[in-house]
Chains A and B, each alone.
Chain A
Amino acid sequence: MEYFVIIIGAIFVNNIVLNQFLGLCPFIGVSSKVETAIGMAGAVTFVMTIATIITYILQNYILIPFGISFMQTITFILVIASLVQLVEIILKKVSPPLYQALGIFLPLMTTNCAILGVAILAVQNDYNLIESVVFGLSSAIGFGLALILFAGLREHLDLVNVPPAMKGVPAAFVAAGLLALAFMGFAGLV
């Protein structure tokens, strides 16, 4: 039951993009086509889940026992940066088609604040290992859901006649606001 609460909470109620404002750069940057949005969502799901596991282990078995939890930010970002590199190398060897599909989105992952944010949030919420994994995975699904929905909206937005100063990003932001408004309907679900 508590896993169910974490899953629904992370995907709908506290959606990582629309409610917590994490990972906005890719949300605005790669959401102009549904296809690229799906690629990005896949890459984020992959890296975010693994990053949450590894940072959990580091936090609880190295940083806390040695009393150096002030090193959290530096450690986590280095872990994520090297993890992204590692995932890139492994994918290239093991599954070239998946590597082709995720390709350009992998390097972008290092500066995606959603990944670092979810790792830190999992620590702050005092989750155990399994809860952290569930939280990481469902946050990533929430990110993917918002990104793909928004890409669908933006494909339509391109065809609409908006005032010239609103064209492009400003109109996209207003649309994102309306999407966030829709997601507010989920508040109180858990």
Chain B
Amino acid sequence: MNQWKNFSKGFIKDNPVFVLFLGLCPVLGVTTSAYNGLGMGLATTFVLVMSNLVVSIIKNLIPSKVRIPTFIVIIASFVTMVEMLTEAFVPDLYEQLGLFIPLIVVNCLVLGRSEAFASKNDIFSSVIDGLGMGLGFAFALTVLGGVREVLGSGSLTLLPDIAEFSIYQGDGMLVFVLAPGAFIALGYLIMLANKLKKKMY
């Protein structure tokens, strides 16, 4: 039960994007379609789970004065891995995400979970926490990407060629694919999350 709570808190109650406002740069930068958001979310989840795992394993070996640089090096190694893996296996996604893959290093969400959770808890709960937070992040990115894609171009792409849906015909509101739409859509989604949270808790 406790582990379930630990896992599910990332979706609404402590959602990193809608409630905690962590790691916002990729949230707005890559969510031009649901697929890009999902890809970025899963890449971040991988880094989050692995760095939480490693940090909680070696937490007793790290002197507390140099813990932040240590965390950053651990995170940066996994980010480099993700960078190479996406370039090799999903090159089109790699092109789309571009600069934002190396920038996972400075995503405050990843460093924040290492510092606030993994360095204080046992291995299993740290992995569960990373998975829950990561999937909550991926969920938020997919929702935002979906909203922007539907409003902006009238289609919804979860997986190219496999799950592509056309919602309506004709031109969408182009502004939602461009920068201003990202800010406005996120603003309204945070408002919705606020309302939901009030009802549920």
Interface residues of A (CB under 8 A from B): 18-25, 28, 70-74, 77-78, 81, 110-113, 116-117, 120-121, 124, 163, 165-166, 169-174, 176-178, 180-181, 183-184
Contacts and interface: CB of A to CB of B under 8 A. Distances in A.
B159 interface: no
11 contacts: A25-B22, A70-B84, A71-B80, A73-B83, A110-B72, A110-B106, A116-B106, A120-B102, A163-B191, A173-B187, A177-B181
A112 to B, nearest CB: 7
Contact of B184 (A121, A165, A173): A173
Interface residues of B, number: 41
B105 A170 contact: no
B111 interface: yes
A116 B25 CA distance: 12
Nearest 8 pairs of A and B residues by beta carbon: A173-B187, A177-B183, A177-B184, A21-B29, A174-B187, A181-B180, A180-B180, A24-B24
A173 B179 CA distance: 12
B25 A23 contact: yes
Contacts of A121: 99
A177 B80 contact: no
A113 B180 contact: no
Main secondary structure of the interface of B (DSSP, over half): helix
Nearest to A27: B24
B114 to A, nearest CB: 12
Contacts of B69: 78, 81
Nearest to A124: B99
Contacts of A77: 72, 76, 105-106
Given A73-B83, A181-B180, A184-B180, A111 B111 contact: yes
Interface in B23-44: 24-26, 28-29
Given A111-B106, A116-B106, A166-B191, A24 B28 contact: yes
B76 A74 contact: yes
Contact of B187 (A78, A113, A172): A172
A28 B17 CA distance: 13
Nearest to A15: B179
Interface string B125-153: 00000000000000000000000000000
A177 B24 contact: no
Given A165-B198, A176-B183, A177-B187, 13 more contacts: A73-B83, A116-B106, A121-B99, A163-B191, A171-B187, A173-B186, A173-B190, A174-B183, A174-B188, A177-B180, A177-B181, A180-B183, A181-B180
B29 A173 contact: no
Contacts of A166: 187, 191
A23 B106 CA distance: 10
A155 to B, nearest CB: 18
A76 B20 CA distance: 27
A51 to B, nearest CB: 12
A81 B69 CA distance: 8
Contact of B179 (A19, A71, A169): A19
Nearest to A121: B99
